[in-house]
Amino acid sequence: MDSKVLLTSFSGRKSLMKQIAMIKHVVLDMDGTIYKGNTLFPFTKEFLKKLTSKGIKYSFLTNNPSRSTDDYIKHLKEMGLTVTKNEIYTTAQATIEYLINHHPHVKKLFILGTPSMIGEFEKEGFFSLPDDPDDEPDAVVVGFDKTLTYDRLSRAAWWINNKKLYVATNPDFVCPTDQPITLVDCGSICAALEKATGRKPDVVLGKPNPEMLDGILMTNHLKPEQVAMVGDRIYTDIMMAQKANVLGVLVLSGEATLDNAKKADPRPHIVVSDLDALGELIAESHTII
């Protein structure tokens, strides 16, 4: 096995390199993959330069809806990366598109989310309701709410118990961080609501839902075998790659460990330490295939 590859599902080095050489577009998870918390990994910029030099495009895909698209652009710029709106896709956007396409009558929402996330919904014509038992929503939307209060959590449970449409933006239990704290994410908030109401969300957007990749495939006229999904989580990034039939690359710069990868079923297609190792593999594949 190539020393840069910690684990692979391919039968040999030749088949591995052949698959890597087919990549035309790399879809990148953000937190835990290109940065952690507020710290850009030292290899990220060089990796993106390598992709560009090989004519490979890239997009950023995140399960964290707590920031708006504009916030992410600003956040990345502060870390030294310049990106456009078309290069970023969040689960807030995925949830908005889901509601518009599948529940066009839904307009009034009781949202557990940050002001930045709520603003994304309001820009698209939705109404965010206050904590008022007389102000009845069409649906409850639960996201990664870093501003969560007990009162709003209890009100969400009330509306869920009253059979309102219940949508979660993402399944993550915790959010990666470079700070000495555990960031409780949307999946954990939904777990609390499930214990209180007996209901799971009617739909969970975000990775591993393979529809998260549909727009990238269609917009760029890509076949699944031409796309690599790169991320640090097996149950979101890699599971989505498997469901969408794209190359799943697990990096160990975030949540998952090599032991996690060995126990995963199905396993990631490729496991590498970080984007630096993947960049070397991509460069090498273009010289031998």
Question: Which pTM value belongs to this model?
Answer: 0.81
What SS3 state is found at 266? coil
7-63+208-288: CATH, from 3.40.50.300, 3.40.50.1000, 3.40.50.2300, 3.40.50.11260: 3.40.50.1000
Query: Looking at residue 86, what is its pLDDT?
Result: 87
Comparing CA positions, the residue from 165, 164, 156 lying closest to residue 190 is: 156
Is CATH 3.10.20.30 the classification given to domain 93-204?
Answer: no
What pLDDT score was predicted for residue 175? 87
Q: Is 33 helix (H, G, I), strand (E, B) or coil?
A: coil
pLDDT at 1: 53
Q: Is 96 within 8 Å of 117 (Cβ atoms)?
A: no
Using DSSP's 3-state secondary structure scheme, residue 248 falls into strand
Torsion of CA 125, 30, 211, 16, to 10 degrees: 160
Question: For the chain, give me the number of helices (H) and strands (E)?
Answer: 11, 16
At 176 the pLDDT is 75
Residues in the chain: 289
* Res 277: pLDDT: 96
Task: Name the nearest CA neighbour of 71 among 30, 26, 124, 125.
Answer: 30
Low-confidence ranges of the chain (pLDDT < 70): 1-3, 289
Is 43 within 8 Å of 275 (Cβ atoms)? yes
pLDDT tens for each residue of 70-116:
999 999 999 999 999 889 989 999 899 899 989 999 999 999 999 99
Quick one: pLDDT at residue 3? 66
Spatial separation of the C-alpha atoms in residues 70 and 74, rounded to whole Å: 6
User: Residues spanned by CATH 3.40.50.1000 within the chain?
Assistant: 7-63+208-288, 93-204
What does the alpha-carbon distance between residue 74 and residue 77 come to, in Å, rounded to a whole number? 5
Tell me what pLDDT residue 103 has. 97
Joined together, the tokens standing for residue 253 give 């710069």
Q: Structure tokens of 42?
A: 């030292």
- Distance between CA 193 and CA 242 in Å, rounded? 29
What is the structure's pLDDT at 2?
A: 65
